[in-house]
Amino acid sequence: MLRGLYAWMMRMAASPRAPYALALIALAESSFFPIPPDVMLAPMVLTRPERTWRYAGICAASSVIGGIGGYMIGYGLAPVAHWILAATGMANAEIWLRAEFAKWGLGVILLGLLPIPYKLLTIVSGLAHFTFWKFIVASSVIRSVRFFGVAALVKKFGPAMLPVIERRLALVTGIVAIAAIALLVGLKLLH
């Protein structure tokens, strides 16, 4: 099933309706869809490099809007939220993430830079009744960093960058997230 979805996304990346499909995928991935929108974003940037920032903006904005949907599922539809987490194999992650929210608050949203599924952060943010406006601001930052970063790398290094992004995305985003978390810890220790 995932292979079929992946193949469909790659076909859509070359179609005239690609921006709409990218928006839909980014929106859905934030609460339930299993494949990240980077799979479409990268080939779209390669095909139309003059639209790089437009595509990254579509992806980031749609992801945040989808994240709001995930937050609302967690906040108001706890049984549905628990079902989605269980269906995506993330049921046990809720306990860990709630503990991290209690400990780090807003800093936990920075985990969205890691290859931790963003849907986990959105749904558990709602379940934990995390402050909504802080969730939106943090989500806007992390999703913009992610998608504008991927778009910039693909635009700069071209097709040779696609296999590197697929293999090393976790490493690069992990380094960025560790730096952000270190900064957060440092600020917390100073206060």
Q: What is the pTM of this model?
A: 0.76
Question: Does the pLDDT of residue 179 top 70, yes or no?
Answer: no
Nearest of 71, 8, 69, 62 to residue 35 by alpha carbon = 8
Task: Between 113 and 31, name the one with better pLDDT.
Answer: 31
In angstroms, the CA 169 to CA 166 distance is 6
In angstroms, the CA 19 to CA 41 distance is 9
Question: Does the pLDDT of residue 13 top 70, yes or no?
Answer: yes
Confidence label for 39 from pLDDT (cuts 50, 70 and 90): confident
CB hemisphere CA count around 7 (13 angstroms): 4
In angstroms, the CA 41 to CA 49 distance is 11
Confidence (pLDDT) at 93: 72
Please write the tens of the pLDDT for every residue from 118-169. Answer: 888 888 888 888 889 988 998 998 899 889 988 998 888 876 766 665 565 5
- Which amino acid appears at position 131 of this protein? T
- Tally: H helices and E strands in the chain: 9, 0
Please write the tens of the pLDDT for every residue from 47-69. Answer: 888 999 999 999 999 999 999 99
Backbone Cα Rg of the chain: 16
Please write the tens of the pLDDT for every residue from 72-127. Answer: 998 998 888 888 878 777 777 777 777 777 777 767 677 666 656 788 888 888 88
How many other C-beta atoms lie within 10 A of the C-beta of residue 46? 16
Is 60 within 8 Å of 25 (Cβ atoms)? no
Task: Between 186 and 45, name the one with better pLDDT.
Answer: 45
As given in the structure block, the two tokens for residue 6 are 């992946």
